[in-house]
Structure 1
Amino acid sequence: MNHRALAAAAITVVLWASAFVAIRSAVQDYSPGALALGRLAVGTIALFAILLIRREGLPPRQSWPGILISGVLWFGVYMVALNWGEQQVDAGTAAMVMGVGPVLIALLGGWFLKEGFPGRLIAGMVVSFAGAAVVGASMSEGGASSVLGVGACLLAAVSWAVAIMVQKPALRHASALQVTAYGCLVGAIACLPFAGSLVEEAARAPLSATLNLVYLGVFPTAVAFTTWAYALARTTAGAMGATTYAVPALVVVLAWVTLREVPGWLTFAGGVLCLAGVAVTRSKRQTVS
């Protein structure tokens, strides 16, 4: 991975980590479907404004199957399922279940995309997954978790993994901006059944919640999904999936700084494991031919 792609991946990880803090505030006033639609609508507007400025037209025909499928699964199903899941279970349980996503990406990428199973990648993912589990356990509120909530988080993880399998081939024919912008549009269209809820909830939501929704649309969606696609086009799906294990560690830091939630030693240790695992996967450059 070249330096620009590495920087793009770093931007993605930081912005996706910040999304967890924003979502925690927004879900108090917006239902899962309404929040997803609002976020996608804002993201679509921002992305198409950039498309117009850059004068990029429609993506090539060969990229459309990947754009349509990833748009429905990742921008649509994933966002609604994750929002819903995080309302049903505690943050720790959600973090542990979502940790399955990068593992599925590596397995599916090795099989469907013929990326193989590099030893450093597998070793790093084992370490990072252990770290994510430790972070999740330390953040768990205890008690029984909602079966439906866990199922929703698992659905989000599976949708994300499958979406990456079709998004990467699409990036061979279209730019990262095109794939992201039109995928976001497809996701927004898929979420239109929640339009009524969005209008009603926006009318009574406090300004802080709506600003969080706008932030989610512009930065963790429009910017971060584009930088993700840019980096994904220049490395393997497995390596990119492993990179996202840095997110739990950054969430702990951001919650500490912005929410004054002081992490316990177990949470801190799990975050260190997550970062150590990512370092192992990056100790040998993962590139595409």
Structure 2
Amino acid sequence: MDKKVFLAFGMTVFIWGSAFPGIKVGLESFSPEHLALLRMLIASAALILFAWNRKMKLPDIKDVPAILFLGFLGFAVYHTGLSFGEQTVSAGVSSLLVSTTPIFSAILGTMFLKDRLSKIGWLGSCMAFLGVALISFGTGNSYSVISSGMIWILIAAFGESFFFVFETNYIKKYGFIQFNIYTIIAGTIFMLFFLPGLLTEFSGASTASTLTVIYLGLIPTIIPYFAIAYVISKTGAAKATSSLYLTPAAALLISWVWLGEIPTILSLIGGIITLVGVGLSAVRASESNDIATKRTANNMT
């Protein structure tokens, strides 16, 4: 693998993995909704400057409703749900739960786009949800099966899955980077509902939390999109995205070093089963393989 490609890929995995513990640090001073909003405001401001500098054209009027809808699901729902979920779920376990996004995408694809999921793919889906159950038991939620925090994160993953399923035609039209800029800004518009009280929290936040949220807005929300787009352009979608399942491993390692989080053995076993299931679910009929792998490319935080 070319050194530049390897560097871009490694940077993508590391940065996305670092977002999960970063959210934990941000939650020390910010409420979940304000953390998500501030992160998106920072990202949108940077992307607007980038788009202005590149003289990027506005989207076609007829595409605006779809862009708003996909921005709402892929960014407003995803980031808000993840922030609420990490109030009670560890950063490492959160990354494992988010890895179910391709499963939801595969199921939605069969429902709405007539994609075909192979028998092995359906087996993988069942394995992934079994892994989620084991993660739940491993986090001490054996009586409630799934905690409220896990439900929030699964909602986040489900919202992101809708984004991945229906973005394909727009990416073909606008390109990977340009379309994501549109939808990030669109998602931020919906999140302005959380604006009241943000300034008060910001003024009272610790330096560590504030710097971490700035990092979340400028780095994990933006940089990996450019990096993975570069990798895809050099290696193709399948090769570029096949190893992005390393993101939970990076998140677990960074959470251990940064936060001192040590997942339980049962959660790790559940996580391994989930990741194996997600990998198997990518086994599609040959005509839909490329679409399936492209949908995992944005599995970000």
1:117-136 correspondence to structure 2 within 5 Å: 117-119=117-119, 121-136=121-136
Deviation at 1:281, TM superposition (A): 6.3
Corresponding residue number in structure 2 for 1:188: 188
Percent of residue pairs bearing the same amino acid type: 28
Name the residue aligned to 1:254.
254
Letter in 1 for 2:173: H
**Given residue 69 of structure 2, which amino acid in structure 1 is its aligned partner?**
I
Matched, 1:23 2:23: yes
Question: What is aligned with 2:84?
Answer: 84
Q: Is the Cα–Cα contact under 8 Å of residues 127 and 274 in structure 2 kept in the other structure?
A: yes
Give SS of 1:104's match. Answer: helix
The one-letter amino acid paired with 2:57 is G
Alpha-carbon displacement from aligned partner over 1:120-166 (angstroms, at most 9, x marks no partner): 54455555555555445434477758865454334323222222222
Q: Distance in 1 between matches of 2:100 and 2:271?
A: 16
Report the counterpart of residue 298 of structure 2 in structure 1.
none
Mapping of residues 260-279 of structure 1, within 5 Å: 260-274=260-274, 276-277=276-277
Instruction: Single out whichever of 249-258 and 119-128 deviates more from structure 2.
Output: 119-128
For 2:297, the equivalent position in structure 1 comes to none
Alignment CA distance shift 1:230-1:109 (3 Å): farther
With over 3 angstroms needed to count, the CA separation of the structure-2 counterparts of 1:225 and 1:93, relative to structure 1, is: same
CA contact (8 A) 2:99 2:278 kept: no
1:71 to 1:227, Cα distance in 2 relative to 1, 3 A? farther
Instruction: Give the Å deviation of 1:205.
Output: 0.1
- Note the 1:54-65 alignment, pairs <5 A: 54-61=54-61, 63-65=63-65
Letter of the structure 2 residue corresponding to residue 203 of structure 1 = S
Aligned partners of 1:146 and 1:124: how far apart in 2?
20
| Deviation per residue, 1:227-273 (Å, 9 max, x gap) | 5678899658xx96x86654433322222222233455444444544
Is the 1:76–1:188 Cα contact (8 Å) retained in structure 2?
yes
Q: What's the offset of the Cα at 1:66? A: 3.4
Counterpart of 2:89, as a letter, is: D
Partner of 1:111: 111
Residues 65 and 227 (structure 1), Cα distance of their counterparts in 2 relative to 1, 3 Å cut: farther
**Kept in 1: contact 2:133–2:145 (CA 8 A):** no
Distance apart, 1:34 and its partner CA: 0.9
Q: Distance in 1 between matches of 2:67 and 2:161?
A: 14
Partner of 2:38: 38
Gaps of 5+ in 1: none
User: Residues of 2 paired with 1:171 and 1:80: CA distance?
Assistant: 24
Distance 1:164 1:112, change over 3 A: same
Query: Contact between 1:246 and 1:278, CA under 8 Å: does it hold in 2?
Result: no
Deviation of 1:224 (Å): 3.1
Q: Cα offset for 1:279?
A: 5.7
Structure 2: which 5+ runs fail to align?
293-301
Distance 2:75 2:150 in 1: 19
- The separation in 1 between residues aligned to 2:179 and 2:106, in whole angstroms, is 21
Cα distance in 2, alignment partners of residues 145 and 38 from structure 1: 32
Between the aligned partners of 2:283 and 2:114, the Cα distance in structure 1 is 21
Contact 2:137 2:145 in 1 (8 A): no
Q: Which residue of 1 aligns with 2:296?
A: none
Q: 1:114 to 1:142 in 2, by over 3 A?
A: closer
Task: Pick closer, same or farther for the CA change 1:161–1:273 going to 2, 3 Å.
Answer: same
- Is 2:100–2:278's contact at 8 Å kept on the other side of the alignment? no
Determine the structure 2 residue equivalent to 1:158: 158
Match of 1:75 in 2: 75
Q: Give TM-score, length-normalised by structure 1.
A: 0.77
Task: Between 154-163 and 172-181, report the one with greater CA deviation.
Answer: 154-163
Q: Distance in 1 between matches of 2:230 and 2:68?
A: 18
CA RMSD between the two structures: 4.0
Q: Scaled by the length of structure 2, what TM-score is found?
A: 0.74
How big is the shift at 1:104? 1.4
